[in-house]
Amino acid sequence: MARLFIFALTLLNFFATSVCAQATCSVDTIKADFVQVGRSLAIVDHDILALPDTGATLAQVLKVHTDLVSVTNNVDVTTRDLSVCRSIPASDFPGLVDGFRAVVEALKEVCQDFVSKKAVFGAFPNAVTQLKEDLRDLAASVAALEQAIVGLAPDDLKSQVQDLSDEANAAIAAAQAAF
């Protein structure tokens, strides 16, 4: 029995080491993640703007929900990729700030458009409940992303990254308050 236990621990250690060894910090991957988040935000923004002011269908509103979940998932991937980094060279960080800035700008646009279409969403009370939950999930994911990127930022860029984080938080809070 003891041999089986030792074998199981050895096997578990092997797999844990293998998985951890595969998770490496890659600035290029993180930049690509930011691009993907931006793309998914553009899709949600298109979905929102495509909603007619009257006569929207439940299917159109549910597409916003589905695509907003995709944004949250993409933010989570970016956070996960950032979290494996113990540090990022200061020379590489401005590119990450640019990617984060693009995401924040797109996020602000999506949140403003959410507010502008509040009446459309209001026609679907159950959908509004789901969208509120989606916004809460997005806020939590964005907060984790912010924590990861602010924590890695070199001192000379920390305030810039924090300012962008504050802008993202304000935009999401405004969208949440509207609903």
Q: How many domains does the chain have?
A: 1
pLDDT band at 179, cuts 50/70/90? confident
Residue 14 lies in a domain: no
> For residue range 98-140, what is the model confidence (pLDDT) as tens digits?
999 999 999 999 999 999 999 999 999 999 999 999 999 999 9
Residue 95 lies in a domain: yes
Q: Is the pLDDT of residue 93 over 90?
A: yes
Residue 13 lies in a domain: no
Per-residue three-class SS string for the chain: CHHHHHHHHHHHHHHHHHHHHHCCCCHHHHHHHHHHHHHHHHHHHHHHHHCCCCCCCHHHHHHHHHHHHHHHHHHHHHHHHHHCCCCCCCCCHHHHHHHHHHHHHHHHHHHHHHHHCHHHHHCCHHHHHHHHHHHHHHHHHHHHHHHHHHHHCCHHHHHHHHHHHHHHHHHHHHHHHHC
Average pLDDT over residues 143-147: 98
Domain range for residue 108?
Answer: 25-178
> What's the pLDDT score for residue 11?
45
Residue 99 lies in a domain: yes
Average pLDDT over residues 157-162: 97
pTM higher than the cut 0.75: yes
Residue 104 lies in a domain: yes
Residue 18 lies in a domain: no
Residue 67 lies in a domain: yes
Q: What is the CATH number of the domain that holds 66?
A: 1.20.58
> What's the pLDDT score for residue 23?
77
> What's the pLDDT score for residue 20?
47
